[in-house]
Amino acid sequence: MIDMDINFLNAILNTHSVSGFENQAGKLFLDYLAPCVDSIDMDSIGNCYAYIGNECKGDKSIKFLLDAHIDEIGFQVIYIDEQGYIYIRKNGGIDVYCIPGSQVVIRTSSGEELFGIIGKKPIHLIAPEERNKNIELHNLWIDTGLSPYEVKKKISIGDVVAWKSNMIYLSDTKISSKGLDDKVGVYIISQVLKKLSSSENDSIQVCGVASVQEEVGNRGAIICGHKVNPDIAICIDVDFATDVPDCPKTKYGDIALGKGVVIHRSIDNTSSITSLVENIAKENNIKHQVSARTLAVGGTNAVVLQQTKDGIMTISLGIPCRYMHTPVELCDLDDIESAIELLYLIITKINSEILIK
C-alpha cells in the first residue's frame, strides 16, 4: 500500500461542510496543502485552490485541473415552533427515509454547535392505515432537549444542520461515514498533490480544487472551470457500487467495492483521453473498473467542466460507494489507493506530444 495520510481523511470527514457552508473544511484543505504546493487561493464562492507549477514553463506544459467537491448534503433551519421544535429543509438530495432517528449538529449563527435528534411520532401512535405512507420532511422535527426559550435564543432561521460525525472502520479497508461523497475525492487530490510536490518533473502544471455546492447544482465547478481554464479537467467523485441486494447490474452496471477506481466512459468524458487513462491503468497493473454510468450525462462536476469556455477535455473517475446520500456511506481504502496511483500517473505520463486538441 502507498503512504496515505489517513489522519487528514478523518479530519475532513469530521469537519461539517453542508452545501453553501463549506468554509471550515475548505480552510482545512488549504492549510494541509500549503506547505507542499506553490500557492493556494480561495474564490468568492468558496472554491479552494492548490497549485503546483505555473504558466511560464513553455508550450509543452499541460495544465491539469483536479476537481472534487467538498460539500456534503445537509439541512437548514426553516421554522421553530412555540415548543422549541425545529423544522428543516434539505440542502442537496438527501434520502428522506434515512432521516428519522438521525443525530445532527446545528451550527448556530454565533458559531456554537448544538446536538439534536430528528424525531417523529412513535410507530405505536400512528394509525395502521397511516404507517405505510411516504415520509415527508416537513412532518419531522429536531429535538435539542433545550427549553423553548434556550432554542429561540441560540438558534435562528437559516442555521445549518449536518449529520453528526460518525466515521468508523468496518474492516481493515472498509470505512463508513457521512460525507464520503465526496470528501474521499478531496482526500485523493490532497495525496496526489503531496506526491507530485516531491516529483522532479518541473513541467507539471496542476491545480487541485476542493469545489463547493456540487450537491445543489455543480455551482462551484462552473466558477473554477472558468478561473483555471485547464487543458484537461479530471473530476473525482463517488460512484454507485452495485454489489448490494436488489441492484440489477443489467440496469446499473457491475461496480464493486475493492475492485479498484472506476473509469467512466460516458458523454461527459473525452473518449481519446479516457482511452489513454485505461491504457495507463492496464500497463501499470492498477486495479480499475469501467462504467458507462447510469445516465448518458450528468451526476458529477464533469458535466459542467466539459462545457466551460470553448470546451475542456474531461475525465471522470469514481470511487465505488454503497448507500450514497445516507449517513452511512461505505467505501474501500483499496479503491482510494488505486485512484491516487492512477491520478499520479495520468499527470506524469500524459504530455503534449500525445495530447490532441
Sequential DSSP letters for 69-92: E--B-EEEEEEE-TTS-EEEEEES
CATH number (domain holding residue 293)? 3.40.630.10
Inter-residue contact 308 to 297 (CB < 8 Å)? no
Do residue 196 and residue 311 come from a single domain? yes
C-alpha cell at 40: 493556494
- Model confidence at 1, in pLDDT bands (50, 70, 90)? low
pLDDT higher than threshold 50 for residue 148: yes
Looking from the CA of 307 toward its CB, the CA atoms found within 13 Å total 11
Which of 163, 196, 226 represents a domain boundary (last residue)?
163
Co-location of 199 and 53 in the same domain: yes
Instruction: Report how many domains make up the chain.
Output: 2
* CA–CA separation, 33 and 24 (whole Å): 15
Amino acid 8: pLDDT: 97
The tens digit of pLDDT for each residue in 298-345 reads: 899 999 999 999 999 999 999 999 999 999 999 999 999 999 999 999
Nearest to 7 by CA among 187, 134, 160: 187
* Residues with Cβ within 8 Å of residue 14, at least 6 apart in sequence: 165, 167
Do 219 and 333 belong to one domain?
A: yes
Write the CATH number for 102. Answer: 2.40.30.40
Which of 138, 163, 188 is at the close of a domain? Answer: 163
Res. 57 pLDDT band, cuts 50 70 90: very low
CA separation, residue 140 to residues 79, 87, 136, 164, 240 (Å): 12, 7, 7, 17, 28
End-to-end CA distance of the chain: 36
Shared-domain flag, residues 102 and 234:
no
In a domain, 256, yes or no: yes
Q: Find the helix or strand (DSSP H, E) in which 332 lies.
A: strand 329-332
197 and 107 in a single domain? The answer is no
- Per the domain annotation, does 168 fall within a domain? no
pLDDT at 199: 75
Cell 423544522 belongs to which residue? 87
Q: What's residue 175's pLDDT? A: 98
Cα-Cα-Cα-Cα dihedral of 111, 108, 23, 118, to 10°?
Answer: 130
Spacing of C-alpha 222 from chain mean position: 16
CA-based torsion, 82, 102, 166, 330: positive or negative: negative
**Does 1 map to a domain?**
no
Residues 92 and 143 reside in one and the same domain? yes
Indicate whether 293 and 185 sit together in one domain: yes
C-alpha cell recorded at residue 248: 440489477
Instruction: Please compute the mean of the pLDDT values over residues 138-148 and round it to a whole number.
Output: 96
CA distance linking residue 344 with residue 109, whole number of Å: 41
Claim to verify: residue 98 and residue 85 sit in the same structural domain:
yes
- The domain in which residue 16 lies consists of 6-72+178-349
What is the mean pLDDT of the segment spanning 240-245? Answer: 96
- Which are the contacts of 353, defined by CB distance < 8 A and separation ≥ 6? 60
Do 216 and 123 sit in the same domain of this protein?
A: no
Phi, psi torsion values for 93, nearest 5 degrees: -90, 70
Q: Is residue 219 pLDDT above 50, yes or no? A: yes
Would you say residue 115 lies in a domain?
yes
- Mark whether 52 and 186 lie in a shared domain: yes
Among 354, 276, 355, 259, CA closest to 315: 276
Is there a single domain that holds both residue 96 and residue 58? no
Residue 344 lies in a domain: yes
CA 215 to chain centre: 9
The bridge status of strand 232-240 relative to strand 313-321 is parallel
Q: How high is the pLDDT of residue 60?
A: 60
DSSP state of 347: H
Please name the helix (run of DSSP H) or strand (run of DSSP E) that holds residue 251, with its range, or none: helix 249-252
Q: Which of 133-137, 179-183, 272-276 has the lowest mean pLDDT?
A: 133-137
d(CA 179, CA 21): 14
Let me know whether 187 and 148 are in one domain: no
What is the per-residue pLDDT for 351? Answer: 67
Residues 6 or more apart from 13 whose CB is under 8 A from it? Answer: 165, 167, 177, 178, 179, 180, 183
- Determine the 3-state secondary structure of 263 from DSSP: strand
Q: Give yes or no for residue 355 having a pLDDT over 80.
A: no
Query: Can you give the pLDDT at residue 33?
Result: 98
- 309 found inside a domain: yes
Residue 327's DSSP bridge partners are none
Which among 107, 138, 163 is the end of a domain?
A: 163
Report the DSSP beta bridge partners of residue 322.
330
355 belongs to a structural domain: no
Predicted pLDDT of residue 55: 57
Segments of 179-266 assigned E as strands: 205-211, 232-240, 261-264
Has residue 297 got a pLDDT over 60?
Answer: yes
Q: Is residue 354 part of a domain?
A: no
